Chains A and B, each alone.
Chain A
Amino acid sequence: MFLNLRRSIKSSFKFIFRNWGITLVDILILTLTLFLFSSLLVFEKGGKVLLKGIEEKADFSVYFKEEVSEDEILKIKDQLLKFPEVEKVTFISREQALSSFKERHKENPVLMEALREIGNPFLASLNIKLKNPDLFEKISNFLDKKKDSIEKIDYLQRQPLIEKIFSITATFRKGMIILILFFLFISFLIVFTTLHLSILNYKEEIFTQKLVGAPNWMIYFPFLFQGIFTGFLASLISTLILFSSLFFLSPKFSILFPEIKIFDIFKDNLISIFLYQVLLGVSFGFLCSFLATKKYLKE
């Protein structure tokens, strides 16, 4: 077993280096495929950051009557947080609302003067962010039971905007999944065709090996080894290219989308992106070589 493995690995390396031209083309095609795929992954992650920022804006507020105490409001906040549909609840006291209003309008002396005359006109509120706008009904039923304490809910005014934001982000996410799947399929076809063409050169050789009684695994081995080797090397090269291209492109990209630090996203996900590439490169290389060799072994 060990002897066979040692011999096969040795002859596989010879096979790869003697066919360095073909191996190089295979690596190039696979590198390009993996580079495009991992770029897509990085931009998908960047897109998610952008969407998160947009979704942050899809919230609504519940304003409480003046006589409702802070303790009561905090109790309602705790109850709301128990709903799995609720992403985030923030309590804003009357004082906080006033100070943030003052901060926003400190340049406007008329407003400041008016505020001094009427005191604090703001109500304490809970700012609620849902995971999905469709879940509002459930929260609304809960808030209905507390209507004696509630002055107003601004959901209805904000509803069209919230629904639009969620619809855009959901479409983007679905679109990205479809795009990734489609890209995987196309990549597989490209890699399969390339490796298939490389193995086609050895069609006669595969047949001869079979005729002299070589077991199937011995015939498969160099081709599968080449597939794995090509996939691994391509994933390494692709990660290096991605690293350097994002390093240089990131500042220019930030001019367009300041909230997305594309190189930081890549750095934070470096290990997972590299592992995805290795997994994809090695499995593509292995599977495509296996299918192509199998075809000629059957003939």
Chain B
Amino acid sequence: MVEFQKVTKVYKTKNRKEVLALEDVSFKIEKGELVSIVGPSGAGKTTILKIILAQEKPTKGKVFFEGKEIFKMKKSEIAELRRKIGVVFQDYRLLKAKNVFENLSFIMEVTGFSDREIKRDIPKVLELVGLEEKMESFPEELSAGEKQRLAIARAVIHRPKIILADEPTGNLDSLNTLEILKILKKINEMGTTIVLATHNKEVVNFLKTRVIYLEKGKIVGERRG
């Protein structure tokens, strides 16, 4: 489903220094897999997710999504690609002007769902993440755990082909972490591919799935689940 071929990414800082984020990274993720990308802060995990989302362009190498090279896509195709991806951002990136219901309905409207489907699906997904009572609340009225769960709900609501989750348990206590991981596992069992970036080894141990180890922008190991 996703393939990285010798991808290198160099960032240029404001004072024109070059920072190597990824170096010669190659891997393949198959449909239906749950893959964890593990490494310390600054290892390049977020950069990998950003490249899949076409938010960052690799300095060298090729990236494919469903066999199509991402960085040869037109603008309209990029938007289409993004609609096939569900993202849990590290900083949630919730739409602060919209309430919980509208945060989810916006994604469904973008991906072309009918009003009937929107009214039917949102309560179900909110129930799945335990936010059914917060439908009218705005993101700023939610706790960190609730925001995280809303971010997950937003990532799954439109039944994307793949979910990218960047440190989805980063700000949570162990109870909430466990809950989130259970939700992600459940979604994966329903057939959705998941790529999860984390620095938390407990998360990896809980999931017991494929792991790619990253350090200073290089793949330093891999474990099959």
A residues touching B (Cβ–Cβ < 8 Å)? 3-4, 7, 11, 14-15, 18-19, 202, 204-205, 208-209, 211-215, 218
Q: Is the CB of A212 within 8 A of B110?
A: yes
- Candidates A11, A14, A205, A214; contact of B96 at CB < 8 Å: A205
Find out whether the CB atom of A212 lies under 8 angstroms from the CB atom of B97. no
Least CB distance from A237 to B in Å reads: 25
CB<8 Å pairs between A and B, sample of 18: A3-B114, A15-B97, A202-B97, A204-B93, A205-B95, A205-B96, A209-B106, A211-B53, A211-B55, A211-B89, A212-B106, A213-B81, A213-B83, A213-B85, A213-B111, A214-B106, A215-B79, A218-B109
Give the complex CA separation of A19 and B98 in angstroms: 11
The reply to whether the CB of B87 lies closer than 8 angstroms to some CB of chain A is: yes
Q: Which residues of A contact B6 (CB under 8 A)?
A: none
Q: Tell which of A4, A14, A204, A212 touches B87, judged by Cβ atoms closer than 8 Å.
A: A212
Q: Give chain A's interface secondary structure class.
A: helix
Known contacts being A18-B97, A202-B97, A205-B97, is A211 close to B87, with CB within 8 Å? yes
Interface centre among A4, A202, A213 (most CB of B within 10 A): A213
A15 / chain B contacts, CB cutoff of 8 Å: 97
User: Are A212 and B96 closer than 8 Å at their CB atoms?
Assistant: no
A208 touches B53 (CB 8 A): no
Q: Tell me the minimal C-beta distance from B25 to chain A in angstroms.
A: 22
- Residue count of chain B within 8 Å CB distance of chain A: 25
In the docked arrangement, what's the CA distance between A7 and B108, Å? 12
B55, chain A: closest CB distance, angstroms? 6
Q: Is the CB of A214 within 8 A of B93?
A: no
CB-CB nearest 4 A-B residue pairs: A213-B82, A213-B83, A208-B93, A214-B110
Chain A residues lying within 8 Å of B95, measured Cβ to Cβ, are: 205, 208-209
Closest B residue to A11 by beta carbon equals B102
Tell me the minimal C-beta distance from A16 to chain B in angstroms: 11
Determine whether B24 belongs to the interface, using a CB cutoff of 8 Å to chain A: no
B residues less than 8 Å from A3 (CB atoms): 114-115
Other-chain residue from B80, B102, B107, B115 in contact with A212 (beta carbon distance below 8 A) = B107
Roughly how many angstroms separate A215 CA and B81 CA in the complex, as a whole number?
12
Expressed in whole angstroms, the Cα–Cα distance for A19 and B80 within the complex equals 30
Chain B residues near A205 (CB, 8 Å)?
Answer: 95-97
Q: Which residue of A lies closest to B154 (CB)?
A: A212
Which residues on B sit within 8 Å (CB–CB) of A18?
97
Q: Given that A205-B97, A208-B95 are known contacts, is A214 also in contact with B102, CB under 8 Å in the complex?
A: no
Q: Could you tell me the distance between the alpha carbons of A110 and B119 in the complex, rounded to whole angstroms?
A: 101
What residues of B have a CB within 8 angstroms of the CB of A209 in the complex? 95, 106
Whether B97 pairs with A213 at a CB distance below 8 angstroms is no
